[in-house]
Amino acid sequence: MRKRNAHSDFQQHRESIRQRIHDRHAVDFFNILTGPQLLELTDAYLPEHRERLYPPTVTLSMFIKQVLEVDGSCQKAVNGWAAQRAAEGLSPRSVRTGGYCKARQRLPVEMMIALTRETGKLLCDQANTGWRWRGRTVKLVDGTGISMPDTPDNQEQYPQSSNQAPGVGFPLARLVGVICLSTGAVVDAAMGPFQGKGRDEHALLRKIQNALRPGNVVLADALYCSYWLIATLQADSIDVLFEQHGSRITDFRRGHRLGTRDHVVSWKKPARPDWMTPEEYAACPDELAVREFRVDGRVLVTTMRDPRKARKKELSDLYLQRWHVELDFRNIKTTLGMDVLRCMTPKMVEKELWVNLLAYNLIRLLMAQAAAESGLQPRQLSFKHTVQIWTQWTLLNTGKNQDWQRDILFKLIAQIRVGERPGRLEPRARKRRPKPYPWLKVPRKLARQQIRELGYLPNA
Protein backbone atom coordinates (compact mmCIF):
# COMPACT_ATOMS: atom_id res chain seq x y z
CA MET A 1 0.00 0.00 0.00
CA ARG A 2 2.86 2.33 0.88
CA LYS A 3 4.60 1.65 -2.47
CA ARG A 4 1.38 2.35 -4.33
CA ASN A 5 0.92 5.66 -2.50
CA ALA A 6 4.54 6.63 -3.20
CA HIS A 7 4.05 5.90 -6.90
CA SER A 8 0.84 7.93 -6.91
CA ASP A 9 2.60 10.86 -5.20
CA PHE A 10 5.39 10.67 -7.77
CA GLN A 11 2.88 10.87 -10.63
CA GLN A 12 1.19 13.83 -8.96
CA HIS A 13 4.55 15.59 -8.73
CA ARG A 14 5.09 15.08 -12.45
CA GLU A 15 1.64 16.43 -13.27
CA SER A 16 2.23 19.45 -11.04
CA ILE A 17 5.47 20.12 -12.93
CA ARG A 18 3.64 19.97 -16.25
CA GLN A 19 0.93 22.30 -14.90
CA ARG A 20 3.46 24.83 -13.64
CA ILE A 21 5.10 24.92 -17.05
CA HIS A 22 1.83 25.92 -18.69
CA ASP A 23 0.54 28.19 -15.90
CA ARG A 24 3.59 30.39 -15.32
CA HIS A 25 7.03 30.83 -16.80
CA ALA A 26 9.12 30.77 -13.63
CA VAL A 27 11.56 28.48 -15.45
CA ASP A 28 12.29 30.16 -18.75
CA PHE A 29 15.01 27.85 -20.04
CA PHE A 30 13.05 24.71 -19.21
CA ASN A 31 10.31 25.81 -21.63
CA ILE A 32 12.62 24.92 -24.53
CA LEU A 33 12.78 21.36 -23.20
CA THR A 34 9.02 20.89 -23.06
CA GLY A 35 8.46 20.00 -26.71
CA PRO A 36 6.89 16.61 -27.50
CA GLN A 37 10.28 15.10 -28.39
CA LEU A 38 11.93 16.01 -25.10
CA LEU A 39 9.18 16.16 -22.45
CA GLU A 40 8.81 12.39 -22.25
CA LEU A 41 12.58 11.94 -22.11
CA THR A 42 12.86 14.52 -19.30
CA ASP A 43 10.08 12.83 -17.33
CA ALA A 44 11.81 9.47 -17.62
CA TYR A 45 14.91 10.78 -15.84
CA LEU A 46 13.24 12.91 -13.17
CA PRO A 47 14.15 11.51 -9.74
CA GLU A 48 11.56 11.00 -7.01
CA HIS A 49 11.40 14.19 -5.01
CA ARG A 50 9.36 16.25 -2.58
CA GLU A 51 8.00 19.71 -3.31
CA ARG A 52 11.09 21.67 -2.33
CA LEU A 53 12.29 25.19 -3.01
CA TYR A 54 14.48 23.68 -5.74
CA PRO A 55 12.67 20.80 -7.48
CA PRO A 56 14.65 19.05 -10.27
CA THR A 57 13.18 21.08 -13.14
CA VAL A 58 13.86 24.39 -11.39
CA THR A 59 17.37 23.26 -10.44
CA LEU A 60 18.19 22.20 -13.99
CA SER A 61 16.86 25.48 -15.35
CA MET A 62 18.90 27.49 -12.85
CA PHE A 63 21.99 25.41 -13.64
CA ILE A 64 21.58 26.10 -17.38
CA LYS A 65 21.04 29.79 -16.77
CA GLN A 66 24.05 29.84 -14.47
CA VAL A 67 26.44 28.65 -17.20
CA LEU A 68 25.05 31.21 -19.67
CA GLU A 69 25.53 34.16 -17.32
CA VAL A 70 28.74 36.16 -17.25
CA ASP A 71 28.67 35.81 -13.45
CA GLY A 72 28.28 32.06 -13.16
CA SER A 73 28.37 31.87 -9.36
CA CYS A 74 25.84 29.89 -7.35
CA GLN A 75 25.07 33.04 -5.34
CA LYS A 76 24.03 34.88 -8.51
CA ALA A 77 21.76 31.97 -9.49
CA VAL A 78 20.11 31.85 -6.06
CA ASN A 79 19.68 35.63 -5.96
CA GLY A 80 17.97 35.57 -9.35
CA TRP A 81 15.60 32.80 -8.29
CA ALA A 82 14.70 34.64 -5.05
CA ALA A 83 14.03 37.87 -6.96
CA GLN A 84 11.90 36.00 -9.48
CA ARG A 85 9.80 34.37 -6.75
CA ALA A 86 9.30 37.74 -5.06
CA ALA A 87 8.20 39.30 -8.37
CA GLU A 88 5.59 36.56 -8.74
CA GLY A 89 4.20 37.14 -5.26
CA LEU A 90 5.84 34.06 -3.71
CA SER A 91 8.00 33.89 -0.63
CA PRO A 92 11.64 34.32 -1.71
CA ARG A 93 12.87 32.17 1.21
CA SER A 94 16.60 32.12 1.96
CA VAL A 95 19.28 33.37 -0.44
CA ARG A 96 21.93 31.05 1.00
CA THR A 97 23.43 28.73 -1.62
CA GLY A 98 23.46 25.49 0.42
CA GLY A 99 20.01 24.28 -0.66
CA TYR A 100 20.69 24.97 -4.33
CA CYS A 101 24.08 23.23 -4.24
CA LYS A 102 22.52 20.14 -2.66
CA ALA A 103 19.76 20.23 -5.27
CA ARG A 104 22.40 20.26 -8.04
CA GLN A 105 24.03 17.21 -6.46
CA ARG A 106 20.70 15.36 -6.57
CA LEU A 107 20.29 15.94 -10.31
CA PRO A 108 21.00 12.71 -12.24
CA VAL A 109 23.84 13.18 -14.71
CA GLU A 110 22.09 10.66 -16.99
CA MET A 111 19.28 13.18 -17.55
CA MET A 112 21.71 15.88 -18.67
CA ILE A 113 23.55 13.48 -20.98
CA ALA A 114 20.31 12.22 -22.52
CA LEU A 115 18.94 15.73 -23.05
CA THR A 116 22.19 16.95 -24.62
CA ARG A 117 22.30 14.02 -27.02
CA GLU A 118 18.62 14.30 -27.87
CA THR A 119 18.75 18.05 -28.55
CA GLY A 120 21.85 17.54 -30.70
CA LYS A 121 20.21 14.70 -32.61
CA LEU A 122 17.01 16.71 -33.01
CA LEU A 123 18.83 19.70 -34.46
CA CYS A 124 21.08 17.63 -36.72
CA ASP A 125 18.31 15.41 -38.11
CA GLN A 126 15.88 18.27 -38.73
CA ALA A 127 18.40 20.59 -40.39
CA ASN A 128 17.13 22.07 -43.63
CA THR A 129 18.38 20.32 -46.76
CA GLY A 130 19.91 23.59 -47.98
CA TRP A 131 22.12 23.73 -44.88
CA ARG A 132 23.75 20.39 -45.68
CA TRP A 133 26.66 19.60 -47.98
CA ARG A 134 25.18 18.19 -51.18
CA GLY A 135 22.25 16.92 -49.13
CA ARG A 136 24.50 14.95 -46.76
CA THR A 137 25.03 15.43 -43.04
CA VAL A 138 28.62 16.42 -42.23
CA LYS A 139 29.89 15.88 -38.69
CA LEU A 140 32.96 17.55 -37.26
CA VAL A 141 35.22 15.69 -34.83
CA ASP A 142 37.87 17.25 -32.63
CA GLY A 143 39.22 17.31 -29.10
CA THR A 144 40.24 19.90 -26.53
CA GLY A 145 41.49 20.22 -22.96
CA ILE A 146 39.56 21.42 -19.90
CA SER A 147 40.92 22.55 -16.54
CA MET A 148 39.21 22.43 -13.13
CA PRO A 149 39.85 23.33 -9.47
CA ASP A 150 42.86 21.76 -7.79
CA THR A 151 41.22 19.42 -5.28
CA PRO A 152 42.43 15.95 -4.22
CA ASP A 153 39.38 14.24 -5.76
CA ASN A 154 39.80 16.05 -9.09
CA GLN A 155 43.54 15.32 -9.12
CA GLU A 156 42.90 11.63 -8.57
CA GLN A 157 40.38 11.39 -11.43
CA TYR A 158 42.01 13.88 -13.82
CA PRO A 159 45.73 14.12 -12.95
CA GLN A 160 47.64 17.25 -13.84
CA SER A 161 50.42 17.27 -16.39
CA SER A 162 53.39 15.11 -15.42
CA ASN A 163 55.68 18.03 -16.28
CA GLN A 164 54.34 20.06 -13.33
CA ALA A 165 55.35 19.76 -9.70
CA PRO A 166 52.74 18.40 -7.25
CA GLY A 167 50.52 21.13 -5.83
CA VAL A 168 51.40 23.62 -8.55
CA GLY A 169 49.35 22.48 -11.55
CA PHE A 170 45.64 21.92 -12.07
CA PRO A 171 43.65 18.79 -12.95
CA LEU A 172 43.22 18.43 -16.70
CA ALA A 173 40.60 16.53 -18.68
CA ARG A 174 40.33 15.74 -22.37
CA LEU A 175 37.06 16.27 -24.26
CA VAL A 176 36.22 14.87 -27.71
CA GLY A 177 33.05 16.08 -29.40
CA VAL A 178 31.00 15.22 -32.48
CA ILE A 179 29.42 18.41 -33.83
CA CYS A 180 26.93 18.89 -36.67
CA LEU A 181 28.42 21.16 -39.34
CA SER A 182 25.01 22.47 -40.48
CA THR A 183 23.68 23.64 -37.11
CA GLY A 184 26.72 23.61 -34.80
CA ALA A 185 24.92 21.33 -32.32
CA VAL A 186 26.91 18.89 -30.16
CA VAL A 187 25.65 15.44 -31.14
CA ASP A 188 27.73 13.58 -28.55
CA ALA A 189 30.84 13.98 -26.44
CA ALA A 190 33.19 11.96 -24.24
CA MET A 191 35.49 13.11 -21.44
CA GLY A 192 38.45 11.40 -19.80
CA PRO A 193 41.85 12.10 -18.24
CA PHE A 194 44.18 14.11 -20.42
CA GLN A 195 47.20 11.84 -20.06
CA GLY A 196 47.78 8.12 -19.85
CA LYS A 197 47.77 5.01 -22.01
CA GLY A 198 44.51 4.48 -23.90
CA ARG A 199 43.25 7.99 -23.05
CA ASP A 200 43.91 9.74 -26.34
CA GLU A 201 41.32 11.33 -28.64
CA HIS A 202 40.91 8.15 -30.70
CA ALA A 203 40.03 6.17 -27.57
CA LEU A 204 37.41 8.72 -26.56
CA LEU A 205 35.99 8.81 -30.10
CA ARG A 206 35.51 5.03 -30.06
CA LYS A 207 33.22 5.46 -27.04
CA ILE A 208 30.84 7.74 -28.98
CA GLN A 209 31.22 6.32 -32.47
CA ASN A 210 27.49 5.52 -32.54
CA ALA A 211 26.93 9.26 -33.08
CA LEU A 212 28.28 8.73 -36.62
CA ARG A 213 25.66 7.17 -38.89
CA PRO A 214 25.61 5.59 -42.35
CA GLY A 215 25.61 8.26 -45.04
CA ASN A 216 27.40 10.83 -42.87
CA VAL A 217 30.63 12.58 -43.85
CA VAL A 218 33.21 12.94 -41.07
CA LEU A 219 35.46 16.01 -41.20
CA ALA A 220 38.58 16.15 -38.99
CA ASP A 221 42.22 17.19 -38.90
CA ALA A 222 45.33 15.09 -39.51
CA LEU A 223 45.28 13.54 -36.02
CA TYR A 224 42.29 11.38 -36.99
CA CYS A 225 43.74 10.20 -40.30
CA SER A 226 44.45 6.62 -39.18
CA TYR A 227 43.99 3.33 -40.98
CA TRP A 228 41.78 1.90 -38.23
CA LEU A 229 39.36 4.79 -37.98
CA ILE A 230 38.94 5.06 -41.74
CA ALA A 231 38.44 1.29 -42.08
CA THR A 232 35.85 1.25 -39.28
CA LEU A 233 33.88 4.18 -40.68
CA GLN A 234 34.04 2.89 -44.24
CA ALA A 235 32.61 -0.45 -43.07
CA ASP A 236 29.64 1.50 -41.66
CA SER A 237 29.10 3.36 -44.99
CA ILE A 238 30.49 6.60 -43.54
CA ASP A 239 32.74 8.77 -45.70
CA VAL A 240 35.67 10.77 -44.33
CA LEU A 241 37.68 13.84 -45.30
CA PHE A 242 40.90 14.28 -43.32
CA GLU A 243 44.19 16.02 -43.77
CA GLN A 244 47.05 13.60 -44.38
CA HIS A 245 48.93 12.57 -41.23
CA GLY A 246 52.51 13.82 -41.16
CA SER A 247 53.95 10.35 -40.59
CA ARG A 248 52.62 9.03 -43.92
CA ILE A 249 54.50 9.71 -47.17
CA THR A 250 52.32 10.62 -50.16
CA ASP A 251 53.74 9.64 -53.56
CA PHE A 252 51.48 10.70 -56.44
CA ARG A 253 53.47 8.51 -58.85
CA ARG A 254 51.81 5.46 -57.31
CA GLY A 255 48.22 4.24 -57.49
CA HIS A 256 45.46 5.04 -59.97
CA ARG A 257 45.83 8.58 -61.29
CA LEU A 258 42.67 10.74 -61.30
CA GLY A 259 44.21 14.09 -62.20
CA THR A 260 46.98 16.46 -61.23
CA ARG A 261 48.14 15.55 -57.72
CA ASP A 262 45.06 13.36 -57.37
CA HIS A 263 45.07 9.56 -57.16
CA VAL A 264 43.55 6.49 -55.52
CA VAL A 265 46.06 4.40 -53.58
CA SER A 266 45.94 1.27 -51.40
CA TRP A 267 47.15 1.40 -47.81
CA LYS A 268 48.50 -1.81 -46.30
CA LYS A 269 47.16 -2.93 -42.93
CA PRO A 270 49.60 -2.00 -40.14
CA ALA A 271 50.51 -4.17 -37.16
CA ARG A 272 47.85 -4.72 -34.53
CA PRO A 273 47.73 -1.93 -31.91
CA ASP A 274 47.54 -2.78 -28.20
CA TRP A 275 43.94 -1.63 -27.78
CA MET A 276 42.62 -3.89 -30.56
CA THR A 277 41.69 -7.52 -29.97
CA PRO A 278 42.94 -10.23 -32.36
CA GLU A 279 39.36 -10.80 -33.53
CA GLU A 280 38.89 -7.12 -34.38
CA TYR A 281 42.25 -7.08 -36.15
CA ALA A 282 41.32 -10.09 -38.28
CA ALA A 283 38.00 -8.45 -39.23
CA CYS A 284 39.76 -5.38 -40.66
CA PRO A 285 40.56 -5.45 -44.41
CA ASP A 286 44.14 -6.18 -45.46
CA GLU A 287 44.12 -3.13 -47.74
CA LEU A 288 42.30 0.16 -47.72
CA ALA A 289 41.60 2.09 -50.95
CA VAL A 290 41.60 5.84 -50.31
CA ARG A 291 41.86 8.95 -52.43
CA GLU A 292 44.72 11.38 -51.83
CA PHE A 293 45.00 14.79 -53.47
CA ARG A 294 46.99 17.97 -52.95
CA VAL A 295 45.31 21.35 -52.90
CA ASP A 296 46.40 24.72 -51.48
CA GLY A 297 49.62 23.24 -50.10
CA ARG A 298 48.01 20.41 -48.11
CA VAL A 299 47.29 16.75 -48.85
CA LEU A 300 43.75 15.61 -48.12
CA VAL A 301 42.56 12.03 -47.71
CA THR A 302 39.00 10.89 -48.45
CA THR A 303 36.96 7.77 -49.10
CA MET A 304 34.93 9.64 -51.76
CA ARG A 305 37.00 8.25 -54.62
CA ASP A 306 34.85 9.13 -57.67
CA PRO A 307 36.06 12.53 -59.04
CA ARG A 308 32.80 12.96 -60.96
CA LYS A 309 30.76 12.86 -57.75
CA ALA A 310 33.24 14.75 -55.56
CA ARG A 311 35.64 17.16 -57.27
CA LYS A 312 38.84 18.41 -55.70
CA LYS A 313 37.54 21.98 -55.42
CA GLU A 314 34.35 20.85 -53.69
CA LEU A 315 36.28 18.73 -51.20
CA SER A 316 38.79 21.50 -50.60
CA ASP A 317 36.01 24.00 -49.88
CA LEU A 318 34.41 21.48 -47.53
CA TYR A 319 37.65 20.94 -45.62
CA LEU A 320 37.99 24.70 -45.07
CA GLN A 321 34.76 24.46 -43.06
CA ARG A 322 36.54 22.21 -40.56
CA TRP A 323 37.57 25.45 -38.87
CA HIS A 324 34.02 25.74 -37.52
CA VAL A 325 34.79 23.09 -34.92
CA GLU A 326 37.53 25.33 -33.52
CA LEU A 327 35.04 28.20 -33.30
CA ASP A 328 32.46 25.93 -31.68
CA PHE A 329 34.90 24.87 -28.97
CA ARG A 330 35.81 28.53 -28.50
CA ASN A 331 32.12 29.33 -27.97
CA ILE A 332 31.78 26.50 -25.46
CA LYS A 333 34.99 27.22 -23.57
CA THR A 334 35.31 31.01 -23.82
CA THR A 335 31.80 32.39 -24.34
CA LEU A 336 30.21 29.94 -21.89
CA GLY A 337 33.27 29.89 -19.63
CA MET A 338 33.83 26.11 -19.70
CA ASP A 339 37.59 26.50 -20.21
CA VAL A 340 37.97 26.26 -16.43
CA LEU A 341 35.22 24.37 -14.64
CA ARG A 342 34.15 25.38 -11.13
CA CYS A 343 33.07 22.21 -9.34
CA MET A 344 35.19 20.53 -6.66
CA THR A 345 34.43 16.84 -7.25
CA PRO A 346 34.63 14.65 -10.37
CA LYS A 347 30.92 13.84 -10.13
CA MET A 348 29.93 17.50 -10.18
CA VAL A 349 32.59 18.27 -12.82
CA GLU A 350 30.86 15.77 -15.11
CA LYS A 351 27.47 17.36 -14.45
CA GLU A 352 28.85 20.84 -15.07
CA LEU A 353 30.34 19.70 -18.36
CA TRP A 354 27.07 18.24 -19.65
CA VAL A 355 25.01 21.23 -18.47
CA ASN A 356 27.36 23.47 -20.45
CA LEU A 357 26.90 21.31 -23.54
CA LEU A 358 23.12 21.27 -23.01
CA ALA A 359 23.03 25.06 -22.67
CA TYR A 360 25.16 25.34 -25.81
CA ASN A 361 22.69 23.15 -27.74
CA LEU A 362 19.73 25.22 -26.52
CA ILE A 363 21.36 28.37 -27.87
CA ARG A 364 22.03 26.54 -31.14
CA LEU A 365 18.33 25.60 -31.18
CA LEU A 366 17.38 29.29 -31.01
CA MET A 367 19.88 30.12 -33.77
CA ALA A 368 18.53 27.36 -36.02
CA GLN A 369 14.96 28.61 -35.51
CA ALA A 370 15.98 32.20 -36.21
CA ALA A 371 17.93 31.16 -39.32
CA ALA A 372 15.02 29.10 -40.67
CA GLU A 373 12.57 31.98 -40.24
CA SER A 374 15.00 34.50 -41.80
CA GLY A 375 16.11 32.41 -44.78
CA LEU A 376 19.68 32.21 -43.50
CA GLN A 377 22.03 29.45 -42.37
CA PRO A 378 22.76 28.94 -38.65
CA ARG A 379 26.48 29.39 -39.30
CA GLN A 380 25.78 32.96 -40.47
CA LEU A 381 24.49 34.00 -37.03
CA SER A 382 26.50 35.06 -33.98
CA PHE A 383 26.56 32.65 -31.04
CA LYS A 384 27.64 35.25 -28.50
CA HIS A 385 24.97 37.70 -29.68
CA THR A 386 22.33 34.99 -29.26
CA VAL A 387 23.49 34.25 -25.71
CA GLN A 388 23.41 37.95 -24.83
CA ILE A 389 19.99 38.64 -26.31
CA TRP A 390 18.46 35.48 -24.83
CA THR A 391 19.66 36.13 -21.28
CA GLN A 392 18.30 39.69 -21.44
CA TRP A 393 15.09 38.52 -23.09
CA THR A 394 14.28 36.00 -20.36
CA LEU A 395 15.13 38.61 -17.72
CA LEU A 396 12.69 41.20 -19.10
CA ASN A 397 9.97 38.93 -20.51
CA THR A 398 9.33 36.49 -17.67
CA GLY A 399 5.77 35.27 -17.77
CA LYS A 400 5.14 36.32 -21.38
CA ASN A 401 5.16 33.96 -24.34
CA GLN A 402 3.04 35.51 -27.07
CA ASP A 403 3.85 34.44 -30.61
CA TRP A 404 4.57 37.99 -31.74
CA GLN A 405 7.22 38.29 -29.02
CA ARG A 406 8.88 35.09 -30.24
CA ASP A 407 8.94 36.53 -33.74
CA ILE A 408 10.67 39.66 -32.47
CA LEU A 409 13.21 37.55 -30.59
CA PHE A 410 14.14 35.53 -33.67
CA LYS A 411 14.37 38.67 -35.81
CA LEU A 412 16.72 40.25 -33.29
CA ILE A 413 18.89 37.12 -33.25
CA ALA A 414 19.09 37.14 -37.06
CA GLN A 415 20.16 40.81 -37.26
CA ILE A 416 23.78 40.18 -36.22
CA ARG A 417 25.68 38.03 -38.69
CA VAL A 418 29.26 36.82 -38.66
CA GLY A 419 31.59 37.66 -41.50
CA GLU A 420 32.77 35.21 -44.13
CA ARG A 421 36.47 34.63 -43.48
CA PRO A 422 37.67 31.68 -45.57
CA GLY A 423 41.28 30.75 -45.00
CA ARG A 424 41.54 33.05 -41.98
CA LEU A 425 44.94 32.89 -40.31
CA GLU A 426 45.63 34.30 -36.86
CA PRO A 427 48.81 34.00 -34.76
CA ARG A 428 48.38 32.20 -31.45
CA ALA A 429 50.06 34.98 -29.51
CA ARG A 430 49.02 37.73 -27.11
CA LYS A 431 49.81 41.40 -27.61
CA ARG A 432 48.91 42.59 -24.10
CA ARG A 433 51.67 41.74 -21.66
CA PRO A 434 50.77 39.91 -18.42
CA LYS A 435 51.25 41.56 -15.04
CA PRO A 436 54.75 40.96 -13.63
CA TYR A 437 53.77 38.49 -10.92
CA PRO A 438 56.15 35.59 -10.28
CA TRP A 439 55.07 31.99 -10.86
CA LEU A 440 53.86 30.03 -7.83
CA LYS A 441 56.27 27.08 -7.70
CA VAL A 442 55.12 25.47 -4.45
CA PRO A 443 51.64 24.57 -3.14
CA ARG A 444 49.71 27.63 -2.00
CA LYS A 445 49.43 26.34 1.57
CA LEU A 446 53.22 26.07 1.81
CA ALA A 447 53.65 29.53 0.25
CA ARG A 448 51.43 31.06 2.94
CA GLN A 449 53.49 29.35 5.65
CA GLN A 450 56.76 30.65 4.14
CA ILE A 451 55.41 34.22 4.04
CA ARG A 452 54.36 33.98 7.72
CA GLU A 453 57.77 32.66 8.76
CA LEU A 454 60.07 34.66 6.48
CA GLY A 455 57.97 37.65 5.52
CA TYR A 456 58.44 36.95 1.80
CA LEU A 457 58.17 34.13 -0.74
CA PRO A 458 61.67 32.66 -1.27
CA ASN A 459 61.05 31.12 -4.70
CA ALA A 460 59.81 34.45 -6.05
Residue 33's pLDDT is what? 56
Instruction: Identify the domain boundary among 80, 107, 134.
Output: 107
Instruction: Identify the domain boundary among 328, 345, 375.
Output: 328
Cα separation, 160 vs 174, in Å, equals 11
Residue 30's pLDDT is what? 45
- The 10 Å Cβ neighbour count of residue 345 is 16
Residue 359's pLDDT is what? 95
Residue 204: give the domain boundaries.
111-328
Percent of the chain with pLDDT over 90: 65
Return the SS3 of 234: helix
Flag whether 39 is in a domain.
yes
Residue 181: name the closest of 224, 143, 232, 124 by CA: 124
Whether the per-residue pLDDT at 7 is higher than 60: the answer is no
Return the SS3 of 69: coil
pLDDT in tens, 23-70: 333 334 445 555 666 777 777 777 776 667 888 888 998 999 999 998
Whether the per-residue pLDDT at 316 is higher than 70: the answer is yes
Kindly state whether residues 122 and 101 are assigned to the same domain.
Answer: no
State the average pLDDT over residues 145-156: 95
Phi-psi domain of 298 (left: phi exceeds 0; alpha: psi -120 through 50; beta: other): beta
**Which range (12-26, 63-77, 232-246, 387-401) has the least confidence?**
12-26
Kindly state whether residues 227 and 81 are assigned to the same domain.
Answer: no
Whether the per-residue pLDDT at 96 is higher than 60: the answer is yes
Looking up residue 294, the CATH number of its domain turns out to be 3.90.350.10
State the average pLDDT over residues 101-117: 93
CA angle 296-325-357, nearest 5°? 175
The number of distinct structural domains making up the chain is: 2
In our burial notation (b when 16+ CB lie closer than 10 A, e otherwise), range 31-61 reads ebbeeeebeeebeebbeebeeebbbbbbbbb
Kindly state whether residues 273 and 166 are assigned to the same domain.
Answer: yes
Which pLDDT band, with edges at 50, 70 and 90, does 406 fall under? Answer: confident
State the average pLDDT over residues 427-439: 86
Cα separation, 124 vs 35, in Å, equals 16
Whether the per-residue pLDDT at 396 is higher than 90: the answer is no
**Which range (118-127, 161-170, 289-298, 402-411) has the least confidence?**
402-411
Kindly state whether residues 299 and 233 are assigned to the same domain.
Answer: yes
Kindly state whether residues 122 and 250 are assigned to the same domain.
Answer: yes
State the average pLDDT over residues 172-177: 96
Return the SS3 of 445: helix
Residue 331's pLDDT is what? 96
Kindly state whether residues 182 and 321 are assigned to the same domain.
Answer: yes
Kindly state whether residues 56 and 187 are assigned to the same domain.
Answer: no
Flag whether 383 is in a domain.
no
Flag whether 418 is in a domain.
no
Residue 41's pLDDT is what? 74
Kindly state whether residues 308 and 266 are assigned to the same domain.
Answer: yes
Residues pairing with 180 in the sheet: 139
Kindly state whether residues 15 and 163 are assigned to the same domain.
Answer: no
- Burial of 154 (C-beta count, 10 Å sphere; 0-12/13-18/19+): buried
Whether the per-residue pLDDT at 404 is higher than 90: the answer is no
State the average pLDDT over residues 204-212: 96
Distances (CA, A) of 293 to 45, 210, 223, 257: 48, 29, 18, 10
Mean pLDDT value across the chain? 87
Flag whether 244 is in a domain.
yes
CB of 5 closer than 8 Å to CB of 379 = no
Longest dimension (CA), the chain: 80
H/E run at residue 46? none
Kindly state whether residues 69 and 129 are assigned to the same domain.
Answer: no
Kindly state whether residues 140 and 198 are assigned to the same domain.
Answer: yes
**Which range (5-9, 222-226, 390-394) has the least confidence?**
5-9
Flag whether 337 is in a domain.
no
Kindly state whether residues 18 and 70 are assigned to the same domain.
Answer: yes
Phi-psi domain of 384 (left: phi exceeds 0; alpha: psi -120 through 50; beta: other): alpha
Flag whether 381 is in a domain.
no
Flag whether 443 is in a domain.
no
Instruction: Identify the domain boundary among 279, 312, 328.
Output: 328
Whether the per-residue pLDDT at 21 is higher than 60: the answer is no
Flag whether 10 is in a domain.
yes
pLDDT in tens, 186-203: 999 999 999 877 789 999
Distances (CA, A) of 221 to 174, 188, 203, 239: 17, 18, 16, 14
Whether the per-residue pLDDT at 375 is higher than 80: the answer is yes
